[in-house]
């Protein structure tokens, strides 16, 4: 069953020059136990989408959706308070820059014990304090911090960034969530620490069967860990499918360009050769192109691209493009067959 | 090929708080020597705190080295003579948004190094700024804009324009490609490679991303705790990493060269 099922979600912002559609009809579904990556460059609305899911957007943003279900419950019909009560029990989120998200004036231990709900503790009130302490230590062990005493008695600035991010994950795990949304958890970290955090998330996903939505701007860092990927560009849905499909058989010109421009994916390229790249830069929110927003940068753009394309589904591989790259592959195959026949 | 930049036995140590008779020292760099040729790229990789940025600062002249000498084209670079050094060695920083002065237009920003270092008149400076902006893929008319009117990728191009406007020989890229979006990053790599061919620049690239290092650099130097633990041709080092630090870096980024 789908945990989260979003169909055609739009987020709009009122400005002096009229309403701007920051996120335009994006669909996203997460199954139980899925490790999904959400990829998009800056300004693609991926963080907005995550904030809309957990409902922390301020009043000036207007969220519309055709369908917005959480485990079969229609979230759009609930009042904002009911929705928060439901989601804060089941969904947790961790952020970029863990150092700035933790309270710098409070000990790590206190911040962790604050996050533990009283309903999780059994026993009489005089036993609660000890139980809480034990729960804190258990949480720290869960995220792989062995020196729990040292960690509990220190302030955020005394710990390294990777440990801080682990503490953030521990706080998120305190509520025993079903879905964990990680918004660029490793953006400012170096590669060895990045690996540690990704490995921890993958462990949680496999051992605890927790669903994870991992948001990142870089496709090449994700592919090793995720099972499915959704790609967004400038607020529009681009492509979704399994990691294998996205990386090896990408159909959208944008995803193709992302994969081709990645230096890590193209290790066979001769050094110092030119990389494949899209011309131009990412459009700003005030001057979004109509129709398919990739249009001005797309090498395959034609006249029909001024209207937004519909999402088409190829065996679970969803792509939103008028001219997906699939036809070329079939053509090549047919040419090959003809040649073989000719030889015979 | 002749050696362009020759660094000999550079060290850097900081004094820590201590008593008179019990002075303590922190060594950021143990003796380091290397050489860079024109049109070549040297990559420096390592963890945080390994002394990469300290080395970059010493090369560009923002810090003085404790001991050691730097030769550019066989000439000794003295620590006090900034004019000589800043014409030939320029640096691009990680976050281009914060390195550009928000209260100056692009023309004023690019004018500053020209006024300080050259004797061109106003008309010539104007012309040079125009051609430099075109060289990095912007329009000449962009010079009347303020930094906040540009996107992240364009700002990085402006810092590149500021670096190449004095016709330098060495450019130091201190994580200059890390903060860019992937599609802009590949544009920037293409641009840097083109400029290297046109102007005969030597780059010193400081980066975490081994994919970029493999694609971009000729030689690599792996640093750890202020020491060079491994160095050589990029392809050879990455094909057959010897030191533990190198292996760990390669493992963490899932890179395997055959």
- In chain B, what residues touch A277 (CB-CB under 8 Å)? 183, 186-187, 190
pLDDT of A344: 38
What's the complex ipTM?
0.75
Question: What distance in Å separates residue A279's CA from the closest CA in chain B?
Answer: 8
Reduced to 3 states (helix: H, G, I; strand: E, B; else coil), residue A135 is helix
Q: Does A255 fall in a domain?
A: yes
Confidence at A328, pLDDT banded by 50, 70, 90: low
CA distance A20 to B236: 52
Q: Does A260 fall in a domain?
A: yes
pLDDT of A265: 67
Q: Does A9 fall in a domain?
A: no
Report yes or no: B255 and A264 within 8 Å, Cβ to Cβ: yes
State both tokens at A2.
Answer: 């789908």
pLDDT of B258: 58
For A235-265, the pLDDT digits (tens) are 888 888 888 888 888 888 888 888 887 777 6
pLDDT of A342: 42
Q: Does A113 fall in a domain?
A: no
Long-range Cβ contacts of B245-248 (<8 Å, 24+ apart)? B245/B46, B245/B47, B246/B222, B248/A192
Q: Does A262 fall in a domain?
A: yes
Average confidence score pLDDT of chain A: 82
Tell me if A267 and B254 make a contact (CB, 8 A cut-off): no
B187 part of contact set with chain A, CB < 8 Å? yes
pLDDT at A341 over 50: no
Confidence at A48, pLDDT banded by 50, 70, 90: confident
Q: Does A109 fall in a domain?
A: no
Question: Which residues of chain B carry a pLDDT beneath 50?
Answer: none
- In chain A, what residues touch B252 (CB-CB under 8 Å)? 191-192, 194-195
pLDDT of A340: 45
pLDDT of B169: 87
For B229-251, the pLDDT digits (tens) are 888 888 888 888 888 888 888 88
Q: Does A253 fall in a domain?
A: yes
- In chain B, what residues touch A195 (CB-CB under 8 Å)? 251-253
Number of domains composing chain A: 1
Of B154, B215, B254, the CB nearest to A271: B215
What average pLDDT does this structure show over A194-212? 86
Reduced to 3 states (helix: H, G, I; strand: E, B; else coil), residue A188 is coil
Question: What distance in Å separates residue B191's CA from the closest CA in chain A?
Answer: 9
CB under 8 Å to B81, separation ≥6 — which residues? Answer: none
Residue with the larger pLDDT of the pair A329 and A189 = A189
The structure's pTM equals: 0.80
Cα angle B96, B98, B102; round to 5: 110
Question: What distance in Å separates residue B257's CA from the closest CA in chain A?
Answer: 7
Q: Does A250 fall in a domain?
A: yes
A262 part of contact set with chain B, CB < 8 Å? yes
Q: Which domains occur in chain B, in start order?
A: 3-252 (3.40.50.300)
Give the bridge partners for A36, in sequence order.
A213, A228
Report yes or no: B140 and B173 within 8 Å, Cβ to Cβ: no
Report yes or no: A10 and A77 within 8 Å, Cβ to Cβ: no
B182 part of contact set with chain A, CB < 8 Å? yes
Backbone angles phi, psi at B13, to 5 degrees: -135, 145
pLDDT of B257: 65
Residue A320 sits in which domain range? 235-267+290-344
């Amino acid at each position: 069953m789908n945990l989260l099922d979003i169909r055609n979600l739009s987020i709009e912002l009122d400005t002096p020059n009229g309403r701007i559609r920051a996120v335009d009809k994006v669909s996203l579904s997460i199954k139980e136990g899925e490790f999904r990556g959400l990829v998009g460059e800056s300004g693609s609305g991926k963080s907005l989408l995550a904030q809309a899911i957990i409902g922390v957007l301020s009043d000036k943003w207007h969220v519309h959706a055709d369908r917005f279900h959480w485990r079969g419950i229609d979230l759009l019909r609930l009042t904002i308070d009911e929705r928060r009560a439901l989601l804060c029990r089941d969904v947790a989120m961790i952020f970029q820059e863990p150092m700035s998200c933790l309270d710098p004036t409070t000990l790590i231990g206190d911040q962790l014990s604050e996050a533990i709900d009283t309903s999780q503790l059994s026993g009489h009130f005089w036993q609660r304090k000890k139980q809480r302490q034990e729960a804190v230590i258990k949480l720290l062990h869960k995220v792989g911090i062995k020196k729990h005493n040292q960690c509990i008695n220190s302030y955020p600035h005394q710990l390294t960034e990777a440990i801080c991010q682990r503490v953030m994950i521990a706080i998120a795990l305190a509520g025993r969530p079903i879905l964990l949304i990680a918004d660029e958890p490793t953006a400012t970290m170096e590669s060895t620490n990045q690996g540690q955090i990704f490995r921890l998330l993958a462990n949680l996903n496999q051992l605890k069967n927790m669903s994870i939505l991992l948001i990142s701007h870089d496709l090449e860092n994700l592919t090793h860990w995720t099972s499915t990927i959704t790609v967004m560009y400038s607020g529009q849905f681009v492509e979704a499918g399994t990691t294998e499909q996205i990386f090896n058989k990408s159909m959208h010109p944008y995803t193709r360009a992302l994969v081709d421009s990645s230096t890590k994916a193209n290790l066979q390229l001769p050094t110092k050769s030119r990389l494949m790249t899209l011309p131009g830069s990412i459009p700003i929110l005030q001057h979004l192109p109509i129709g398919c927003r990739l249009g001005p940068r797309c090498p395959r753009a034609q006249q029909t691209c001024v209207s937004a394309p519909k999402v088409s589904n190829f065996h679970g591989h969803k792509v939103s493009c008028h001219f997906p790259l699939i036809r070329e592959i079939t053509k090549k195959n047919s040419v090959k067959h003809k040649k073989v026949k000719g030889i015979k | 090929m002749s050696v362009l930049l020759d660094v000999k036995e550079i060290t850097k140590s900081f004094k820590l708080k201590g008593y008179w008779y019990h002075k303590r020292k922190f060594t950021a760099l143990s003796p380091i020597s290397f050489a860079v040729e024109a049109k070549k790229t040297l990559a420096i990789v390592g963890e945080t705190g390994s002394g990469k940025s300290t080395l970059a600062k010493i090369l560009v002249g923002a810090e003085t080295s404790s001991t050691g000498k730097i030769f550019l084209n066989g000439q000794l670079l003295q620590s006090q003579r900034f004019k000589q050094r800043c014409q030939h060695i320029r640096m691009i920083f990680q976050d281009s948004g914060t390195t550009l002065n928000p209260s100056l237009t692009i023309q004023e920003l690019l004018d500053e190094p020209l006024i300080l270092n050259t004797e061109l008149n106003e008309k010539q400076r104007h012309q040079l700024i125009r051609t430099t902006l075109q060289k990095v893929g912007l329009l000449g008319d962009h010079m009347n804009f303020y930094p906040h009117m540009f996107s992240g990728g364009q700002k990085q191009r402006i810092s590149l324009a500021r670096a190449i406007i004095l016709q330098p020989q060495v450019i130091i890229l201190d994580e200059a490609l890390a903060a860019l979006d992937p599609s802009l990053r590949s544009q920037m790599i293409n641009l840097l490679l083109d400029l290297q061919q046109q102007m005969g620049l030597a780059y010193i690239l400081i980066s975490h991303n081994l994919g970029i290092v493999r694609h971009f650099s000729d030689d690599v130097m792996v640093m750890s705790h202020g020491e060079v633990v491994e160095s050589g041709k990029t392809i050879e080092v990455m094909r057959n990493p010897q030191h533990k630090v190198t292996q760990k870096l390669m493992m963490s980024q899932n890179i395997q060269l055959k």
